[in-house]
Chains A and B, each alone.
Chain A
Amino acid sequence: MIKAILIFNNHGKPRLSKFYEHYSEDTQQQIIRETFHLVSKRDENVCNFLEGGMLIGGADNKLIYRHYATLYFVFCVDSSESELGILDLIQVFVETLDKCFENVCELDLIFHVDKVHNILAEMVMGGMVLETNMNEIVTQIDAQNKMEKSEAGLAGAPARAVSAVKNMNLPEMPRNINIGDISIKVPNLPSFK
């Protein structure tokens, strides 16, 4: 079972954190920090497997990571997962991101965290591998995005209108139109008899 999937950059800033077991929020942040600490110390020419830290649970768990440019992709797994298999899974995940975002880079992950979560949800569910066929995943993601877009198109019109109005710079509307003393000279009209 996969216990957690973490993506963070070379400085330890989290770009995605997904936990498949319950940890309190403080523990989650500690795990991210500790994992970064362990992984960033590693040389480039050592193997991609690490015994896990203290927090993410005992001797059974391993950290399997890959370093791409400015990002670390870390999967924390227990002994029921094949280490080499997880390495391949990370590769498939990154390639899928690449396909969905067109030459994915860190900025894409920063600005579209929710989309990355959606892609991950099509690959790993409940800590287990769901789908590994890249094309299949991309097809499903595209279909769901289309659904979102169509909702935004028709049903989104009122929302967009409201936004447009709210963002308009409406000047202060005059309340009491105080015409003041306008002396309107009413001409002395002769009475029609």
Chain B
Amino acid sequence: MCRHSEPLDRLRMPAPIRLRELIRTIRTARTQAEEREMIQKECASIRSSFREEDNTYRCRNVAKLLYMHMLGYPAHFGQLECLKLIASQKFTDKRIGYLGAMLLLDERQDVHLLMTNCIKNDLNHSTQYVQGLALCTLGCMGSSEMCRDLAGEVEKLLKTSNSYLRKKAALCAVHVIRKVPELMEMFLPATKNLLNEKNHGVLHTSVVLLTEMCERSPDMLAHFRKLVPQLVRILKNLIMSGYSPEHDVSGISDPFLQVRILRLLRMLGRNDDDSSEAMNDILAQVATNTETSKNVGNAILYETVLTIMDIKSESGLRVLAINILGRFLLNNDKNIRYVALTSLLKTVQTDHNAVQRHRSTIVDCLKDLDVSIKRRAMELSFALVNGNNIRGMMKELLYFLDLCDPEFKADCASGIFLAAEKYAPSKRWHIDTIMKVLTTAGSYVRDDAVPNLIQLITNSVEMHAYTVQKLYKAVLEDISQQPLVQVGAWCMGEYGDLLVSGQCEEEEPIQVTEDEVMDVLETLLQSNMSASVTRGYALTAIMKLSTRFTINVNRIKKIMSVYGSSIDVELQQRAVEYNALFRKFDHMRSALLERMPIMEKVTNGLTETAQTNGEAEPMKVEPKLLSTAPPSSNQANDLLDLLGGSDVTSVIRTVPPSKPNTVGGELLDLLGGLDLSG
């Protein structure tokens, strides 16, 4: 075959298929693999078509490439082709080329700089739509170098009378400022009469530009404050103008522009009395006159409320704003309720009393089906709890804790503990509340809840009998919730004597024998459900009962000797030490296992002295004491310090099991050559 048949060959190759056909073909694919095959085949033909530098079909091929890119297939080999399309004279080519540039290119590829010259020419093109394309592309993905080169052109277009171009230039300017903040000054003169425009598109984008400039520079912000009267006037016209079919959205005149202006006013009025005063009237007007039956009206109202709360508005206006939010809470539309709760959360610190008035509505939102709304309502409820409403609120919150999803339980439990600590009306109420939390959501409470609760119980001396009784009953019912069981075990060890003696003032005392208490503690020790920390608590509790109970001492001794060979190292160590206490140091046992004194609360590293209870001297909890305590001359006192200190530590600080080891070590030191195998 002679070589001059090449053009004939080309003629014979089929034309690249249209985008429509490609899409149709791909839709017939039944599996991902089939689709991948079709795409690869088409990519190959597109690549060869590109190689031929065929101007006629470039447009079509790039369009197909963009489609495949959207589906997730690589398309970077089309980047240069986009540039060629941009350089073409045809509008059709340019359109696809610029779209391709926006989708496929970004500033990390050097290739994009080649666009700069094309864009520059197109910004000065005779056809406004071409200029529009160039502005759009520059405004979407222009890199800082491109922006620097072309900022002048953009500034020129910002002053044109063509509103189509002016609005695009304004947004392009925003992008330029974001990329190269130093150029902001350059656009200042052009902003002078932006607000005089009648065209809403230009007005809208101008307000965006002004907003961006004010956000970036306090000087600009001060400079633009003088625009407040003009902005107020524009807003007024929008509200009062009556029906305008052009800008009407569901009966409201250009709600998007209204929202934008309100936002800019918010920025300008913040911390400035004069500006705030100038806006007071219009804000009140918008707040009272806006139609609320559709979402657009509510969007405007919402923005108005945010503005009122942020500027220095007079108190009447603020109350109006919060009442609007309260009304929002009753709206059927859940979006509105969500948005209202979010704003109330922001304002509850500054306008606490006003928000309190809507407390019952907020609490009702706890029962909403929507997860996002429930979370907001919970946060807001905790913010609203105070000394006056604590009882009622707590009832609702406990009810919520019971029914809510697991994801909320931890936060809710912590919140309840904090609130109870701050505002508890009585010790009994406090303990009851905490008990309820432990029984309802026991497995979700945080680790520090246990030591805090133990401290609370210790310090409520008159409630000891009541507490241990309640805990005993709770543990009998359910031994699976670890924090509850740990507190219960500790209390039973500490106050077991009160439990069996049947003296309880607060409620009907129950009849419990020593054996029954021992049974419960042993069950805890042996149960599979108990964590090893819980077992530790149970063992120590049993030991403490040796001085409080009279008839079970042998049983206790037996348990200790059994656990002396436990495979759990922590339990083994404890059991061995307690054994030693029985055998060699029986005379010290009652002193060592005495009732715990009032603990001082360690809050934020500062120790506050709590009230003394007269039984024993209050002991200072000093962290240093625990790590290294050199034995002083009075051995008994040291033991008291060391044991007492460590016990307190393991309860107040969630200390890893290793802590008692150091104490045990020291105990061993003091005991001299103790034979551990015994």
Q: Which of B96, B263, B298 contacts A114 (CB 8 A)?
A: B96
Contact indicator A130/B205 (Cβ below 8 Å): yes
Contact indicator B246/A163 (Cβ below 8 Å): no
Q: How far, in Å, is A57 (CB) from chain B's closest CB? A: 16
> How far, in angstroms, from A163 to B167 measured CA to CA in the complex?
40
Kindly state whether residue B379 has any CB partner on chain A within 8 Å.
Answer: no
> How far, in angstroms, from A49 to B74 measured CA to CA in the complex?
32
Q: Which of B15, B71, B201, B372 contacts A14 (CB 8 A)?
A: B71
Interface segment, A97-105, A118-126, A181-189?
A118-126
Contact indicator A47/B338 (Cβ below 8 Å): yes
> How far, in angstroms, from A87 to B259 measured CA to CA in the complex?
13
Q: Which of A87, A143, A155 contacts B335 (CB 8 A)?
A: A87
A14, A22, A46, A158 interface centre (most CB from chain B within 10 Å): A46
> How far, in angstroms, from A48 to B91 measured CA to CA in the complex?
39
Chain A 8-61 residues near chain B, CB threshold 8 A: 14, 16-18, 20, 22, 25, 29, 43, 45-51
B 366-398 binary contact with A (CB < 8 Å = 1; else 0): 000111110000000000000000000000000
Contact indicator B15/A85 (Cβ below 8 Å): no
Residue of B nearest to A33 (CB): B72
Chain B 334-392 residues near chain A, CB threshold 8 A: 334-339, 369-373
Contact indicator B15/A45 (Cβ below 8 Å): no
> How far, in angstroms, from A50 to B373 measured CA to CA in the complex?
11
Kindly state whether residue A192 has any CB partner on chain B within 8 Å.
Answer: no
> How far, in angstroms, from A128 to B175 measured CA to CA in the complex?
9
A92 contacts across to B, CB distance below 8 A: 249
Q: How far, in Å, is A177 (CB) from chain B's closest CB? A: 15
Residue of A nearest to B104 (CB): A25
Indicate whether A84 sits within 8 Å of B70 (C-beta atoms), given known contacts A125-B139, A147-B129, A159-B56: no
Indicate whether A126 sits within 8 Å of B372 (C-beta atoms), given known contacts A85-B259, A87-B295, A110-B23: no
Kindly state whether residue B577 has any CB partner on chain A within 8 Å.
Answer: no
Q: How far, in Å, is B281 (CB) from chain A's closest CB? A: 23
Contact indicator B107/A22 (Cβ below 8 Å): yes
Contact indicator B295/A129 (Cβ below 8 Å): no
Q: How far, in Å, is B342 (CB) from chain A's closest CB? A: 9
Kindly state whether residue A179 has any CB partner on chain B within 8 Å.
Answer: no
Contact indicator A126/B171 (Cβ below 8 Å): yes
Kindly state whether residue A162 has any CB partner on chain B within 8 Å.
Answer: yes
B140 contacts across to A, CB distance below 8 A: 20, 125-127
Contact indicator B171/A167 (Cβ below 8 Å): no
Q: Which of A82, A143, A165 contacts B129 (CB 8 A)?
A: A143
B201 contacts across to A, CB distance below 8 A: 130-131, 133, 136
Indicate whether A131 sits within 8 Å of B167 (C-beta atoms), given known contacts A46-B334, A114-B66, A147-B91: yes
Kindly state whether residue A152 has any CB partner on chain B within 8 Å.
Answer: yes
Chain B 4-43 residues near chain A, CB threshold 8 A: 8, 11-15, 19-20, 23, 27
Contact indicator B334/A45 (Cβ below 8 Å): yes
Kindly state whether residue B136 has any CB partner on chain A within 8 Å.
Answer: yes
Q: How far, in Å, is B213 (CB) from chain A's closest CB? A: 14
Kindly state whether residue A178 has any CB partner on chain B within 8 Å.
Answer: no
Q: Which of B1, B23, B200, B338 contacts A111 (CB 8 A)?
A: B23
> How far, in angstroms, from A111 to B26 measured CA to CA in the complex?
11
Contact indicator A88/B249 (Cβ below 8 Å): yes
Contact indicator A88/B91 (Cβ below 8 Å): no
B 57-68 binary contact with A (CB < 8 Å = 1; else 0): 100000100110
B135 contacts across to A, CB distance below 8 A: 125
Contact indicator B302/A82 (Cβ below 8 Å): yes
Kindly state whether residue A89 has any CB partner on chain B within 8 Å.
Answer: yes
Contact indicator B256/A132 (Cβ below 8 Å): yes
> How far, in angstroms, from A60 to B473 measured CA to CA in the complex?
48
Give the secondary structure class of A's interface.
helix
Contact indicator A114/B99 (Cβ below 8 Å): yes
Q: How far, in Å, is B383 (CB) from chain A's closest CB? A: 19
Q: How far, in Å, is B249 (CB) from chain A's closest CB? A: 7
Kindly state whether residue B204 has any CB partner on chain A within 8 Å.
Answer: yes
> How far, in angstroms, from A91 to B335 measured CA to CA in the complex?
15
Kindly state whether residue B208 has any CB partner on chain A within 8 Å.
Answer: yes
A43 contacts across to B, CB distance below 8 A: 369
Chain B 79-125 residues near chain A, CB threshold 8 A: 90-92, 95-96, 99, 103, 106-108
Contact indicator B174/A126 (Cβ below 8 Å): yes
Chain A 122-156 residues near chain B, CB threshold 8 A: 125-133, 135-136, 140, 143-144, 147-148, 151-152, 155
Residue of A nearest to B99 (CB): A117
Kindly state whether residue A113 has any CB partner on chain B within 8 Å.
Answer: yes
> How far, in angstroms, from A17 to B141 measured CA to CA in the complex?
15
Residue of B nearest to A166 (CB): B15
B167 contacts across to A, CB distance below 8 A: 130-131
Contact indicator A84/B295 (Cβ below 8 Å): yes
Q: Which of B90, B246, B247, B298 contacts A155 (CB 8 A)?
A: B90
A110 contacts across to B, CB distance below 8 A: 23, 27
Kindly state whether residue B164 has any CB partner on chain A within 8 Å.
Answer: yes
> How far, in angstroms, from A146 to B261 measured CA to CA in the complex?
35
Kindly state whether residue B172 has any CB partner on chain A within 8 Å.
Answer: yes
Contact indicator A82/B96 (Cβ below 8 Å): no
Kindly state whether residue B445 has any CB partner on chain A within 8 Å.
Answer: no
> How far, in angstroms, from A17 to B72 measured CA to CA in the complex?
10
Contact indicator A46/B371 (Cβ below 8 Å): yes
Q: Which of A14, A131, A155, A159 contacts B70 (CB 8 A)?
A: A14
> How far, in angstroms, from A173 to B305 measured CA to CA in the complex?
81
Kindly state whether residue A78 has any CB partner on chain B within 8 Å.
Answer: no
Q: Which of A49, A132, A167 contacts B372 (CB 8 A)?
A: A49
> How far, in angstroms, from A17 to B107 measured CA to CA in the complex?
19
Q: How far, in Å, is A120 (CB) from chain B's closest CB? A: 10
Contact indicator B15/A148 (Cβ below 8 Å): no
> How far, in angstroms, from A50 to B338 measured CA to CA in the complex?
11
A151 contacts across to B, CB distance below 8 A: 90-92
Indicate whether A88 sits within 8 Å of B14 (C-beta atoms), given known contacts A47-B372, A126-B174, A155-B90: no
Contact indicator A25/B74 (Cβ below 8 Å): yes
A-B contact pairs, 18 of them (CB 8 A): A14-B72, A46-B369, A47-B370, A49-B339, A83-B339, A88-B295, A88-B296, A91-B295, A111-B23, A114-B19, A118-B95, A121-B136, A128-B174, A147-B129, A165-B11, A166-B13, A166-B15, A167-B14
Closest 4 CB pairs of A and B: A84-B299, A126-B139, A46-B370, A47-B334
- Known: A22-B141, A130-B205; 12 extra A-B contacts, CB below 8 A, are A18-B103, A22-B107, A46-B372, A51-B372, A83-B339, A87-B299, A114-B63, A114-B99, A121-B99, A136-B246, A140-B164, A166-B12
